[in-house]
Amino acid sequence: EAEVAQSPRYKITEKSQAVAFWCDPISGHATLYWYRQILGQGPELLVQFQDESVVDDSQLPKDRFSAERLKGVDSTLKIQPAELGDSAMYLCASSPDGEAGEAFFGQGTRLTVV
Amino acid sequence: KQEVTQIPAALSVPEGENLVLNCSFTDSAIYNLQWFRQDPGKGLTSLLLIQSSQREQTSGRLNASLDKSSGRSTLYIAASQPGDSATYLCAVSRGNNRLAFGKGNQVVVIP
């Protein structure tokens, strides 16, 4: 069964260091999302790609976060420098074309900033 | 801005009882609604997807209904089992497949 792959599963980093997360969506899914989930809350969208183009990054803290999907397939989310408040679960999801497509999520990366 | 509310935030039920989880949303102009399950420290597993033109979806012991006009969805889990213990998240899509999530219903099924 096709899955969204994410790595690493867990990451501990020191404040002010750089950290990167990787996501490989389900093959053929044009839309890729990065969400952030703080403990006890629902996920919130950080950035949405359609193929290699950014569709929505209005909630992405661009002074420290960046995201890319160079060939329209896999994607990388980077934080530099990391802050204590960035500790959260980072979830990647993908969906097929169309307004009413089902979203499929990966297992997430649990980030702890110390 | 779309707001999604899930009530109750947490509940415990004895094994075998039926579970009823509620989700409400403020903007009825949605494309679809999804229910997800999340185990502690894990990602989200899609349970049911209801398109805006549909009233309900069923999968095994799970049934989800959608009433767009009143901005409500209900997830029913029949004959609950300890393995159903998890957090259940409701999300609505309005344009560009952008999902707005509730905070979840945390469920514990007591053996």
CA A83 – CA A114 distance, rounded (Å): 8
For testing contact with chain A, the best of B35, B37, B93, B97 (most A CBs within 10 A) = B97
- Omega before B8 within 30 of 0, i.e. cis: yes
What mean pLDDT, rounded, does chain B reach? 94
Q: Which residue of B has its CA nearest to A108?
A: B43
Mean pLDDT score, A77-100: 91
Find the closest chain A residue to B97 by CA distance: A99
- Identify all chain A residues contacting B41, using CB atoms and an 8 Å cutoff: 89, 110
Instruction: Using a CB–CB cutoff of 8 Å, tell me whether B102 touches chain A.
Output: yes
Dump the DSSP string for chain B: ---EEEE-SEEEEETTSPEEEEEEES----SEEEEEEE-TTS-EEEEEEEETT-SEEEETTEEEEEETTTTEEEEEESS--GGG-EEEEEEEE-STT-EEE---EEEEEE-
pLDDT tier at A98, thresholds 50, 70, 90: low
* Chain B closest-CA separation from residue A100 CA (Å): 6
Q: Is B29 on the interface with A (CB under 8 A)?
A: no
Is the pLDDT confidence value at A78 over 70? yes
Structure confidence by residue, pLDDT tens digits, B6-35: 989 999 999 999 999 999 999 888 889 999
Spatial contact of B93 and B32, defined as CB atoms under 8 Å apart = yes
Using CB atoms, pick whichever of A42, A99, A108 lies closest to residue B43: A108
Q: What is the pLDDT of residue A96?
A: 85
Tokens encoding A91 = 């979830």
